[in-house]
Structure 1
Amino acid sequence: MADEMVPMAGVVLDAADPKALGKFYRRLLGWEMVESDDNWVQLRGPDGSSKLSFQREPRHRAPLWPSEVEGQQMQVHLDFEVADLEAAQQKALDAGATLMDWQPQKEGVRVMADPAGHIFCLFLPGW
Protein backbone atom coordinates (compact mmCIF):
# COMPACT_ATOMS: atom_id res chain seq x y z
CA MET A 1 0.00 0.00 0.00
CA ALA A 2 2.92 2.39 0.57
CA ASP A 3 3.53 2.76 -3.18
CA GLU A 4 -0.14 3.09 -4.13
CA MET A 5 -1.98 6.35 -4.33
CA VAL A 6 -5.43 6.03 -2.85
CA PRO A 7 -8.28 8.48 -3.45
CA MET A 8 -8.88 10.98 -0.70
CA ALA A 9 -12.04 9.99 1.11
CA GLY A 10 -12.78 13.19 2.96
CA VAL A 11 -11.82 16.29 4.89
CA VAL A 12 -11.76 16.85 8.66
CA LEU A 13 -12.40 20.29 10.14
CA ASP A 14 -11.65 21.30 13.73
CA ALA A 15 -14.42 22.86 15.78
CA ALA A 16 -15.15 23.67 19.40
CA ASP A 17 -18.59 22.08 18.87
CA PRO A 18 -18.40 19.35 16.19
CA LYS A 19 -22.07 18.40 16.63
CA ALA A 20 -23.26 21.93 15.85
CA LEU A 21 -20.96 22.20 12.84
CA GLY A 22 -22.06 18.77 11.60
CA LYS A 23 -25.69 19.85 11.82
CA PHE A 24 -24.92 23.01 9.83
CA TYR A 25 -23.31 21.05 6.98
CA ARG A 26 -26.08 18.44 7.07
CA ARG A 27 -28.61 21.26 6.50
CA LEU A 28 -26.42 22.85 3.83
CA LEU A 29 -25.54 19.71 1.87
CA GLY A 30 -28.29 17.28 2.76
CA TRP A 31 -25.69 14.60 3.51
CA GLU A 32 -26.34 11.75 5.93
CA MET A 33 -24.82 11.97 9.41
CA VAL A 34 -23.20 8.55 9.91
CA GLU A 35 -21.31 9.19 13.18
CA SER A 36 -21.94 11.65 15.95
CA ASP A 37 -20.63 12.06 19.47
CA ASP A 38 -19.24 14.96 21.50
CA ASN A 39 -15.81 14.69 19.86
CA TRP A 40 -16.42 13.46 16.31
CA VAL A 41 -19.11 13.88 13.66
CA GLN A 42 -19.03 12.46 10.15
CA LEU A 43 -21.26 13.17 7.16
CA ARG A 44 -21.32 11.00 4.06
CA GLY A 45 -22.18 12.22 0.57
CA PRO A 46 -25.03 10.68 -1.41
CA ASP A 47 -22.88 8.19 -3.35
CA GLY A 48 -20.85 7.27 -0.25
CA SER A 49 -17.48 8.22 -1.71
CA SER A 50 -17.11 11.61 0.00
CA LYS A 51 -16.98 12.30 3.71
CA LEU A 52 -16.86 15.51 5.68
CA SER A 53 -15.92 15.14 9.35
CA PHE A 54 -15.62 17.43 12.35
CA GLN A 55 -13.43 16.85 15.39
CA ARG A 56 -13.44 18.62 18.73
CA GLU A 57 -10.73 21.22 19.12
CA PRO A 58 -11.56 23.42 22.10
CA ARG A 59 -8.97 26.03 21.06
CA HIS A 60 -10.15 26.31 17.46
CA ARG A 61 -9.91 29.89 16.17
CA ALA A 62 -11.64 31.02 13.01
CA PRO A 63 -9.28 32.26 10.29
CA LEU A 64 -9.31 35.87 9.19
CA TRP A 65 -10.66 36.61 5.72
CA PRO A 66 -8.91 38.13 3.96
CA SER A 67 -5.82 36.90 5.76
CA GLU A 68 -3.60 39.14 7.82
CA VAL A 69 0.06 38.59 8.71
CA GLU A 70 -0.53 38.52 12.47
CA GLY A 71 -3.93 36.77 12.48
CA GLN A 72 -5.08 33.18 12.28
CA GLN A 73 -4.34 31.97 8.76
CA MET A 74 -6.75 29.91 6.68
CA GLN A 75 -5.29 26.47 6.00
CA VAL A 76 -8.01 25.03 3.80
CA HIS A 77 -11.36 26.02 2.40
CA LEU A 78 -14.18 24.01 0.86
CA ASP A 79 -15.63 24.61 -2.62
CA PHE A 80 -19.17 23.64 -3.59
CA GLU A 81 -20.38 23.84 -7.20
CA VAL A 82 -24.00 25.00 -7.38
CA ALA A 83 -26.48 25.47 -10.22
CA ASP A 84 -28.13 28.60 -8.77
CA LEU A 85 -25.75 30.87 -6.88
CA GLU A 86 -28.39 33.13 -5.32
CA ALA A 87 -30.50 30.20 -4.10
CA ALA A 88 -27.43 28.39 -2.70
CA GLN A 89 -26.28 31.55 -0.94
CA GLN A 90 -29.71 32.00 0.67
CA LYS A 91 -29.78 28.33 1.73
CA ALA A 92 -26.34 28.75 3.33
CA LEU A 93 -27.43 31.93 5.12
CA ASP A 94 -30.61 30.24 6.35
CA ALA A 95 -28.51 27.33 7.68
CA GLY A 96 -26.31 29.74 9.67
CA ALA A 97 -23.49 30.78 7.32
CA THR A 98 -22.10 34.29 7.02
CA LEU A 99 -21.48 36.06 3.72
CA MET A 100 -17.96 37.47 3.88
CA ASP A 101 -17.49 41.19 3.26
CA TRP A 102 -14.53 40.70 0.90
CA GLN A 103 -15.55 38.96 -2.32
CA PRO A 104 -12.52 38.77 -4.66
CA GLN A 105 -14.59 37.53 -7.62
CA LYS A 106 -17.62 39.64 -8.44
CA GLU A 107 -19.56 37.08 -10.46
CA GLY A 108 -20.01 33.35 -10.19
CA VAL A 109 -18.48 32.87 -6.71
CA ARG A 110 -19.55 33.66 -3.14
CA VAL A 111 -17.13 33.43 -0.22
CA MET A 112 -18.88 32.44 2.99
CA ALA A 113 -18.02 31.20 6.47
CA ASP A 114 -19.65 28.39 8.39
CA PRO A 115 -20.69 28.95 12.04
CA ALA A 116 -17.20 27.94 13.26
CA GLY A 117 -15.59 30.42 10.85
CA HIS A 118 -14.27 27.96 8.25
CA ILE A 119 -14.29 29.61 4.83
CA PHE A 120 -16.15 27.94 1.98
CA CYS A 121 -17.04 29.02 -1.55
CA LEU A 122 -20.17 28.51 -3.59
CA PHE A 123 -19.46 28.72 -7.30
CA LEU A 124 -21.25 28.32 -10.60
CA PRO A 125 -20.03 25.76 -13.15
CA GLY A 126 -17.11 27.12 -15.14
CA TRP A 127 -15.74 29.35 -12.35
Structure 2
Amino acid sequence: MALVHAGVVVLDCAEPEKLAEFYRELLEAEVADADANRVEIRAADGFRLALRRDVNTTAPSWPRPENSLQAHLEFVVEDLDAAERLIVSLGGRAVETREVTGPREERGYADPAGHSFTLRRGVPVGPKQG
Protein backbone atom coordinates (compact mmCIF):
# COMPACT_ATOMS: atom_id res chain seq x y z
CA MET A 1 0.00 0.00 0.00
CA ALA A 2 1.31 3.45 -0.93
CA LEU A 3 2.48 5.67 1.91
CA VAL A 4 1.32 8.81 0.07
CA HIS A 5 -1.88 9.00 -1.95
CA ALA A 6 -2.91 11.57 -4.53
CA GLY A 7 -4.76 14.42 -2.89
CA VAL A 8 -6.45 17.37 -4.44
CA VAL A 9 -5.33 20.29 -6.59
CA VAL A 10 -5.76 23.54 -4.62
CA LEU A 11 -5.99 27.02 -6.10
CA ASP A 12 -5.70 30.09 -3.87
CA CYS A 13 -8.12 32.93 -4.58
CA ALA A 14 -9.89 35.81 -2.87
CA GLU A 15 -13.41 34.39 -3.27
CA PRO A 16 -13.44 30.58 -3.23
CA GLU A 17 -17.23 30.33 -3.38
CA LYS A 18 -17.38 32.22 -6.68
CA LEU A 19 -14.44 30.39 -8.22
CA ALA A 20 -15.81 27.03 -7.09
CA GLU A 21 -19.05 27.85 -8.91
CA PHE A 22 -17.10 28.54 -12.13
CA TYR A 23 -15.35 25.16 -11.99
CA ARG A 24 -18.45 23.34 -10.73
CA GLU A 25 -20.37 24.51 -13.80
CA LEU A 26 -17.46 23.93 -16.19
CA LEU A 27 -16.82 20.37 -14.99
CA GLU A 28 -20.44 19.51 -14.12
CA ALA A 29 -19.11 18.73 -10.66
CA GLU A 30 -20.59 18.66 -7.16
CA VAL A 31 -19.49 20.42 -4.01
CA ALA A 32 -17.79 17.71 -1.95
CA ASP A 33 -16.82 19.78 1.07
CA ALA A 34 -16.97 23.42 2.09
CA ASP A 35 -16.20 25.67 5.02
CA ALA A 36 -15.61 29.40 5.47
CA ASN A 37 -12.20 29.34 3.74
CA ARG A 38 -12.23 26.38 1.37
CA VAL A 39 -14.56 24.77 -1.14
CA GLU A 40 -13.79 21.41 -2.73
CA ILE A 41 -15.57 20.09 -5.79
CA ARG A 42 -15.56 16.60 -7.28
CA ALA A 43 -16.28 15.82 -10.91
CA ALA A 44 -18.04 12.64 -12.03
CA ASP A 45 -14.70 11.20 -13.20
CA GLY A 46 -13.26 11.64 -9.69
CA PHE A 47 -11.16 14.76 -10.36
CA ARG A 48 -11.01 16.92 -7.21
CA LEU A 49 -10.30 20.62 -7.09
CA ALA A 50 -10.27 22.84 -4.02
CA LEU A 51 -10.43 26.62 -3.89
CA ARG A 52 -8.83 28.15 -0.81
CA ARG A 53 -9.34 31.68 0.47
CA ASP A 54 -6.24 33.86 0.46
CA VAL A 55 -7.09 37.51 1.05
CA ASN A 56 -3.63 38.57 -0.18
CA THR A 57 -3.73 36.63 -3.43
CA THR A 58 -2.83 38.28 -6.71
CA ALA A 59 -3.87 36.95 -10.09
CA PRO A 60 -1.19 35.16 -12.11
CA SER A 61 0.18 37.27 -14.96
CA TRP A 62 0.70 34.53 -17.53
CA PRO A 63 1.14 34.64 -20.54
CA ARG A 64 3.49 37.60 -20.16
CA PRO A 65 6.90 36.34 -21.34
CA GLU A 66 8.79 37.72 -18.34
CA ASN A 67 6.87 35.45 -15.98
CA SER A 68 7.20 31.69 -16.15
CA LEU A 69 4.07 29.59 -16.10
CA GLN A 70 4.66 27.44 -13.02
CA ALA A 71 1.59 25.22 -13.28
CA HIS A 72 -1.79 25.11 -14.93
CA LEU A 73 -4.82 22.88 -15.17
CA GLU A 74 -5.53 20.96 -18.34
CA PHE A 75 -8.93 19.66 -19.40
CA VAL A 76 -9.70 17.33 -22.31
CA VAL A 77 -12.70 18.18 -24.48
CA GLU A 78 -14.29 16.96 -27.68
CA ASP A 79 -15.63 20.34 -28.89
CA LEU A 80 -13.24 23.25 -28.28
CA ASP A 81 -15.66 25.88 -29.58
CA ALA A 82 -18.55 24.75 -27.37
CA ALA A 83 -16.27 24.56 -24.33
CA GLU A 84 -14.94 28.07 -25.05
CA ARG A 85 -18.48 29.47 -25.21
CA LEU A 86 -19.21 27.87 -21.83
CA ILE A 87 -16.03 29.25 -20.27
CA VAL A 88 -16.77 32.78 -21.45
CA SER A 89 -20.39 32.55 -20.28
CA LEU A 90 -19.12 31.55 -16.81
CA GLY A 91 -16.73 34.51 -16.56
CA GLY A 92 -13.50 32.97 -17.88
CA ARG A 93 -11.45 34.50 -20.68
CA ALA A 94 -9.21 33.37 -23.50
CA VAL A 95 -5.48 34.11 -23.07
CA GLU A 96 -4.11 32.55 -26.26
CA THR A 97 -3.87 35.50 -28.62
CA ARG A 98 -1.50 34.37 -31.36
CA GLU A 99 -2.83 33.56 -34.81
CA VAL A 100 -2.81 29.87 -35.65
CA THR A 101 -3.56 28.28 -38.99
CA GLY A 102 -5.39 25.00 -39.20
CA PRO A 103 -7.29 23.28 -36.40
CA ARG A 104 -6.18 24.30 -32.93
CA GLU A 105 -5.70 21.30 -30.71
CA GLU A 106 -5.08 23.36 -27.56
CA ARG A 107 -6.39 26.69 -26.28
CA GLY A 108 -5.40 28.69 -23.21
CA TYR A 109 -7.78 30.40 -20.78
CA ALA A 110 -7.91 32.11 -17.42
CA ASP A 111 -10.59 31.50 -14.81
CA PRO A 112 -12.36 34.49 -13.20
CA ALA A 113 -9.55 34.78 -10.61
CA GLY A 114 -6.79 34.66 -13.26
CA HIS A 115 -5.55 31.05 -12.88
CA SER A 116 -4.49 29.62 -16.23
CA PHE A 117 -5.81 26.43 -17.74
CA THR A 118 -5.90 24.82 -21.13
CA LEU A 119 -8.44 22.88 -23.11
CA ARG A 120 -7.10 20.30 -25.48
CA ARG A 121 -8.44 17.73 -27.85
CA GLY A 122 -6.98 14.36 -26.91
CA VAL A 123 -3.81 13.62 -24.96
CA PRO A 124 -0.57 15.58 -25.57
CA VAL A 125 1.94 13.73 -27.74
CA GLY A 126 4.96 16.04 -27.62
CA PRO A 127 6.54 18.95 -25.76
CA LYS A 128 4.93 22.39 -25.79
CA GLN A 129 6.29 24.48 -28.64
CA GLY A 130 6.51 28.26 -28.11
Bin for the TM-score computed over the shorter chain: 0.7 to 0.9
Unaligned runs of 5+ in 1: none
Amino acid corresponding to residue 75 of structure 2 in structure 1: F
Cα distance in 1 between the residues matched to 2:106 and 2:75: 10
Q: Does 2:57 correspond to 1:60?
A: yes
2:35 corresponds to: 37
- CA gap 1:103/1:60 in 2 versus in 1, 3 angstroms: farther
Q: Distance in 2 between matches of 1:105 and 1:43?
A: 34
Tell me, in whole angstroms, the C-alpha distance in 2 between the residues paired with 1:126 and 1:116: 26
Change (3 A) 1:41 1:103: farther
Cα root mean square deviation, aligned: 2.2
Deviates more, 1:12-21 or 1:92-101: 92-101
Please tell me the residue identity of whatever aligns with 1:52: L
* Percent identical: 37
Cα deviation for residue 75 of structure 1 reads: 2.7
Instruction: Please tell me whether the aligned partners of residues 76 and 123 of structure 2 are also in contact (alpha carbons under 8 angstroms).
Output: no
Deviation at 1:15, TM superposition (A): 0.5
Deviation digits for residues 32-87 of structure 1 (CA, Å, limit 9, x no counterpart): 1112233000001214x321001111111111122343x6x543100000000000
2:71 maps to what in 1? 76
1:92 maps to 2:87: yes
Deviates more, 1:83-92 or 1:102-111: 102-111
* Contact 1:41–1:53, Cα closer than 8 Å, also in 2: yes
Deviations along 1:71-121, one digit per CA (max 9) or x if unpaired, are 6x5431000000000001111111110111535866111100000000000
| TM-score in terms of structure 1 length | 0.83
The worse-fitting range, judged by mean Cα deviation, of 83-92 and 58-67 is 58-67
